[in-house]
Amino acid sequence: MKKVVFFSLCLMAFVSCFGNVRVSTLFSDHMVLQRNKTIPVWGRADPGENVVVEFNRQSKSVMADSSGKWKVRLDPEKEGGPFKLIIKAGNKLTFRDVMVGEVWICSGQSNMEFMVKSVAEAESEIAEASYPLIRHFTVPKEISAFPEDELKEGHWDVCSPETVGGFTAVGYFFAREIFNEINIPIGLINATWGGTVVETWTSKNTLERSEDFADVMAEVASFNQDSLFEAKKRAWEKNLSQLTKKIESLQGSVNNFTDADQWMKTDIDDSNWPHMKLPGQWEKQDKGLKYLNGSVWFRKEFTLGREEAGRPAKIHLAMIDDIDWTYVNGVQVGTTDVWNKKRIYEVPGKILLSGKNVVAIRAIDGGGGGGIYGNAADMQITVNRKKISLAGKWSFKVDSMSVKIQGVEPNDFPCLLYNAMINPVIPYAMQGVIWYQGESNAVRAFQYRRAFPMLIWDWRDHWATGDFPFYFVQLASFNEDNGNSKNGSAWAELREAQLMTLSLPNTGMAVTADIGDSADIHPLNKQDVGKRLAAVALKNVYGKNIVCYGPLFQSMDVKGNRIILSFSDTGSGLMANDKYGYLKGFEIAGADSIFHFAKAFIEGDEVIVFSDSVNDPVAIRYGWADNAGEDNLYNKEGYPASPFRTDQWKGITEEEKYTIGL
């Protein structure tokens, strides 16, 4: 990285010494400019320098201001190319193979960042990716305490089998679908960062005006990059002190780890160890380990009969964030250093005993979530065709804590990614935004009802081109925390917040609950995500006469012990996506707020819901769970219904508020 920075500084020095004009990094060979809209072009030159911009028979000139900044606005152009963009002052810059077409910003967290090379059927997708009129620009990952004017680096890639592997997968499949329909150039500007919250993508002035965030913004009003680190250091030291006290209350001194190298053995006395329910990351459980980066041992006994003893087995341990060493009866059976990979290890039969056996796991986490997570069904040992569940109560003990203070990260403070990755892109002319984010905001889903619309208003305000299209992906299914109507589901509440955002003008949403992966927060099917987003754009932007949504709940009517539900966007009719025609995913409750699984059937464009357990129903929920992947109400065009609820009973995230993320 130091070499790259040094090279960039040398290049900037070279341009400064030998040329008087520079242009934003977004302007380069192979770029796509937005059709049918004014095209801003901007950069720097010597103060007072006259800058001339030439493009496709246009010529515009402007004088650089006292700080050296300049900007021209080219007249709208129709789709076409290739053209040259020429910028002249004391020197001359020429950019070739410039196309005019449709430009879309692709932004959000890891599911938008997710690359084509990692999708399902990646090999064939890459081999077939000969689309030279689709272009891709990756915004470099940077943070900043204040709005930046310029990206440090970047270039446009022409889509080919050699380049497409690094494209945003959702963006590429979105672009491919549109290109195949309208056959004009498409440019994608990829500004993404995995694991990030919406507040870091929102500008300071917008957050300061919000009742929800004004107090937090007052805390960071005068921060610069150095003071951000100092603030993080102070918060980290405070959190570490609290963590140390909690661990001492659980297990004694945190510095007494001299026997930790023995904790895999069967004869260790762990009767005084605290317990934790697994699967479940330790930060999300009420065990006092919220800020722990370090090493934790987990131990659990299981019993085998004589018919299983001495036989080879397989042990399944869901996923472990980040690294694990796994032992059975004191013998290491496996280790993995990939945080989101399911652990499946072979266990030699010779070490398995009749009666008591012990599995011990040392899990090391370097940052973010830590521990064992995923589906309870993926925690088991299989021997002699017998499956023994390992989910449930485990003994645990902290082995070590990291006291290293990491550098400032995107979620530590608000606005950091807006400042470094969005502000420098403004005012590049574009058609709209596609957005895939929300997983990291699920713990504050209720507040997302305001925070997400705020981001949309914010970007529209700064681009100052009206209510441009803003299309987003509703969270896919993922069994984050076994959430449902009984336990509460932060993911269901986040999907509800996204659904409510459709009240903003010129927004659209792709429902993906049916194409998620209950055990993987990064489902591999990004093709259908891109197609569903593209359908919204094809209808609303490009005028195609198509159905682009699945059923959206509109109203309910109670008749006796049944509730009749009405929907919009039913297309050519409702259907149960099930070979037997049964609807799944509906629940019903009376005034006691206790939900029961319900029977449901389609009658015209309505759904009738009832349960023998509820005589006087007042509320319905559909797909109200972290994992709603089996719910199957669709329209006949193949689009799934969005999860919804008819009640307004208090959820589990209503009291959660944004704080500086340290």
* Residue 365 near residue 293, CB atoms below 8 Å: yes
Residue 219 pLDDT class (50, 70, 90 cuts): confident
CATH 3.40.50 residue window(s) in the chain: 18-214+413-473
Over residues 473-525, the pLDDT tens digits come to 999 999 888 899 999 999 999 999 999 999 999 999 999 999 999 888 999 99
What is the token pair recorded at 212?
């929800």
What pLDDT does residue 241 have? 76
Q: Is 141 exposed, middle or buried (0-12, 13-18, 19+ CB in 10 A)?
A: middle
Q: Other C-beta atoms within 10 Å of 554: how many?
A: 14
Over residues 45-85, the pLDDT tens digits come to 999 999 999 999 999 999 999 999 999 999 999 999 999 99
Over residues 367-407, the pLDDT tens digits come to 777 899 888 889 999 999 899 999 999 999 888 877 666 67
* Residue 498 near residue 474, CB atoms below 8 Å: yes
CATH 2.60.120.260 residue window(s) in the chain: 240-401
Over residues 422-456, the pLDDT tens digits come to 999 999 999 999 999 999 999 999 999 999 999 99
Q: Other C-beta atoms within 10 Å of 440: how many?
A: 22
Distances (CA, A) of 247 to 32, 225, 292, 297, 480: 55, 33, 10, 13, 25
Over residues 163-173, the pLDDT tens digits come to 999 999 999 99
What pLDDT does residue 10 have? 40
Task: Give the residue among 402, 401, 404, 397 at the shortest CA–CA distance from 252.
Answer: 397
| Distance between start and end Cα atoms, the chain | 25
Residue in the block written with tokens 């902290």: 398
Q: Is 266 exposed, middle or buried (0-12, 13-18, 19+ CB in 10 A)?
A: middle
- Dihedral-angle region of residue 251 (phi above 0 means left; psi in -120 to 50 means alpha; beta otherwise): alpha
- DSSP annotation of 425: T
Report the 3 state secondary structure along 596-622. EECEEEEECCEEEEECCCCCCCCEEEE
Peptide bond into 551 cis (omega under 30): no
What is the token pair recorded at 602?
């389609």
Mean pLDDT of 175-189: 98
Residue 134 pLDDT class (50, 70, 90 cuts): very high
* Residue 311 near residue 346, CB atoms below 8 Å: no
d(CA 81, CA 396): 63
Residue 571 Cα to chain centre, angstroms: 30
Share of the chain above pLDDT 90, in %: 78
What pLDDT does residue 5 have? 39
Is residue 495 within a helix (H) or strand (E), and if so which, with residue range? helix 490-500
Task: Give the residue among 600, 597, 516, 515 at the shortest CA–CA distance from 553.
Answer: 600
CATH number of 240-401: 2.60.120.260
What pLDDT does residue 425 have? 98
What pLDDT does residue 404 have? 62
Residue 320 Cα to chain centre, angstroms: 19
Q: Is 78 exposed, middle or buried (0-12, 13-18, 19+ CB in 10 A)?
A: exposed
What pLDDT does residue 225 have? 60
Report the 3 state secondary structure along 7-57. HHHHHHHHHHHHCCEEECCCCCCCCEEECCCCEEEEEEECCCCEEEEEECC
* Residue 318 near residue 372, CB atoms below 8 Å: yes
The more confidently predicted of residues 365 and 180 is 180
- Dihedral-angle region of residue 125 (phi above 0 means left; psi in -120 to 50 means alpha; beta otherwise): alpha
The mean of the pLDDT values for the chain is: 91
Q: Other C-beta atoms within 10 Å of 97: how many?
A: 17
Residue 253 pLDDT class (50, 70, 90 cuts): low
* Residue 357 near residue 313, CB atoms below 8 Å: no
What pLDDT does residue 558 have? 98
What pLDDT does residue 339 have? 83
What pLDDT does residue 262 have? 87
d(CA 334, CA 478): 26
What pLDDT does residue 4 have? 39
Residue in the block written with tokens 């340290």: 662
Residues with Cβ within 8 Å of residue 103, at least 6 apart in sequence: 32, 33, 34, 186, 187, 188, 189, 428, 429, 430, 431
Q: For residue 147, is pLDDT > 90?
A: yes
What is the token pair recorded at 314?
């397989």
What pLDDT does residue 235 have? 72
Over residues 585-638, the pLDDT tens digits come to 999 999 999 999 999 999 999 999 999 999 999 999 999 999 999 999 999 999
Over residues 5-55, the pLDDT tens digits come to 333 434 443 333 334 899 999 999 999 999 999 999 999 999 999 999 999
d(CA 341, CA 522): 11
DSSP, collapsed to helix, strand or coil, labels residue 326 as strand
Fold of the domain spanning 18-214+413-473: Rossmann fold (3.40.50)
Task: Give the residue among 596, 595, 599 at the shortest CA–CA distance from 582.
Answer: 599
DSSP, collapsed to helix, strand or coil, labels residue 399 as strand
Residue 254 pLDDT class (50, 70, 90 cuts): low
Over residues 305-335, the pLDDT tens digits come to 999 999 999 999 999 998 999 999 999 999 9
